[in-house]
Amino acid sequence: MPDYTVPVKDYLFLFNDVLDMQSKYKHVEGGGEASADMVEAIFSEAAKFCENELAPLYQVGDQGCTWDDGVVTTPPGFKEAYAKFIEAGWTTLTGSAEMGGQNIPSSVGIAINEMLTTANWAWAMYPGLSEGAVATLETSGTEEQKKDYLGKLISGVWSGTMCLTEPHCGTDLGQMKTKAVPNDDGSFSVNGTKIFISAGEHDLTENIVHIVLAKLPDAPRGTKGLSLFIIPKFLPAADGSVGERNGVRCGSIEHKMGIHGNGTALLNFDNATGFLIGKPHEGLAAMFTYMNVARIGTASQGAAAAERSYQGAAKYARERLAMRSLSGAKNPDGPADAIIEHPDVRRMLLTQRVIAEGGRAMVTYASQYADLYRGGKTQQERDAAEIRLGFCTPILKGFITELGVEAANHGVQVFGGHGYIQEWGMEQILRDSRIATLYEGTTGIQALDLVGRKVLMDKFKQLNLFTGDMLRFAAQFLPWKKSTLAKPMRKRAWTITKLALKWRYLGYRMAMRAKKNPDAVGASSVDFMMYSGYAYMAFMWVQMSAAAHRQLAAGEGDRAFLEAKLHSAEFFFERILPRADMHAKTLGANLESLMSMPNSYFE
């Protein structure tokens, strides 16, 4: 597999030049500590760890974990890499200072998680799952629970998981059967089985803290009856160390399409001792904290798949010789031209590139709200950021992961037959990327969440806010403005303006159709989400274009980097963005073509 080089320059371009994260950190508790120099140093050191420690283990991890009577062993090198990771303090980066963390804004951690995932997807999931457990305890845990668990989770000595899915139910959590019965000491005895638990059992940490949904005996039906519990693999001792073994065991690990290096476990809870998080029957609300954190991380996995596959495909395309260019020989002294000279190969490479860079920008843009949600200086700021982040999350998760699979598929295609062979590593990226469209809610679930909860139930407030941001940004480059960038940006400003207005129109139109037939929501939700994704990504590319033009006009920055960014932007607007029109048209298609066929015909 080709080496992975962390695109540090691209992260810094987004943080410093496009989104000006430093100005936003002024509104975040402790954000002033994350100076531009510090963020650059953090990114540079993270890049070294990813390139030197994790990337070489990517294909090694494809050997998979092993299970023996409940004991799971990770692939060679994983445990040693994790020990170096926590020794260097990486798990403490965004944790609260009171619990031993460095209190760096979440946006920095989100960027580093993408680097880790690109270097070694399966390995990165182990510390990644712990972040959701930390977020849940920070927002919903008692002071005693924080004291018992947060410090160990933040230090990385213990790790965390999220336990929702059961054999008979996935997204439909109302069917959950896991039961929690109160004990006399205030704890609960939990019985049930959970499946598909990422990092559910492994040998990297001395303890694993499971965050588990279960039902109390008096629970009402449906999701309103779910409560949330902490169930550690080992109960904490009085001195905070690992105590006696709890009643949770790994019954098996899943045999999966990809991410073989992650121990995806079936967990049996047999009279396991659990501790209630938050209020009874309000577990799903507390779990949403975890799920929102996880979904942002999953969205960045789509960008990671595109980046890793692009780097491998671009190197191969520059070196692989096959056929002559249609416009004349470019390598006349060789037997053939490099395949990068062929338009269709360039199409695939540029598609990968704009997905990686555009997806990264989308996640970074949303991470400013994650910073405020976690560390805003006022409750009003935190509440507003939570809502804005909630609107972005299903678009990020659903859209970027779908495009990540597309990018990984192009990587295999660029290699031709060699892409289908394991030794090159390109097919592993494709296999790994496929899970991102499934876990943390499938693409269809994300689309329904966006349309139902974030647009229709919200009465278009967040849609209008987001598109309002697009309109205000574009307005500064329209003809009657005196901006020095008005001329090079005018065409794209009009494009963004029309996209924003059409996005609003499509939302209103969908609402009108839903009044006549509720199935219209389900029939059009994925197309609406994909249109939303392309509009969101276009907004990012127009901002990146403006920043690049601004620096070039001032004679600043790396000219080659900035010109490449503008070339990529042009490709996106000319050859990728037109897909949005297809989704807009399909969104309004006749419902009968989808729903009128009798079920008996599906044979």
Rounded Cα distance between 294 and 545, Å, is: 30
Specify whether the CB–CB gap between 271 and 178 falls below 8 A.
Answer: no
Q: Which residues pair with 321 in a beta bridge?
A: 338
Amino acid 192 reads G
List the catalytic residue out of 53, 131, 166, 440. Answer: 440
Quick one: how far is CA 547 from the chain centroid? 25
Known catalytic residue at 440: yes
Q: CB of 178 within 8 A of CB of 213?
A: yes
Beta-bridge partners for 250: 267
Compute the chain's Rg from CA coordinates: 24
Residue 378: left if φ>0, alpha if ψ -120 to 50, beta else—which one?
beta
Q: For residue 335, what is the enclosing H or E element?
A: none
Burial of 160 (0-12, 13-18, 19+ CB in 10 A): buried
Which of 300, 145, 289, 302 is closest to 213 using CA atoms? 289
**448-462 exposure pattern, b = at least 16 Cβ within 10 A, e = fewer:** bbbbbebbbebeeeb
- Cβ neighbors of 513 (< 8 A, separation 6 or more) are 520, 524, 588, 591
CA-to-CA distance for 12 and 20, rounded, in angstroms? 10
Q: Alpha carbon of 449 to those of 227, 445, 530: distances in Å? A: 21, 6, 13
Angle between helices 559-571 and 343-375 (to 10 degrees): 100
CA–CA separation, 375 vs 121, rounded Å?
28
**How many helices (DSSP H) and strands (DSSP E) are in the chain?**
21, 11
Closest to 81 in 3D by CA, of 113, 106, 49, 107: 49
Strands (DSSP E) found in 233-306: 234-236, 242-245, 248-253, 265-277
Measured distance CA(87)–CA(283) in Å, rounded: 34
At residue 560, the 3 state secondary structure works out as: helix
Neighbours of 337 (CB within 10 A): 20
Positions annotated as catalytic residues are 440
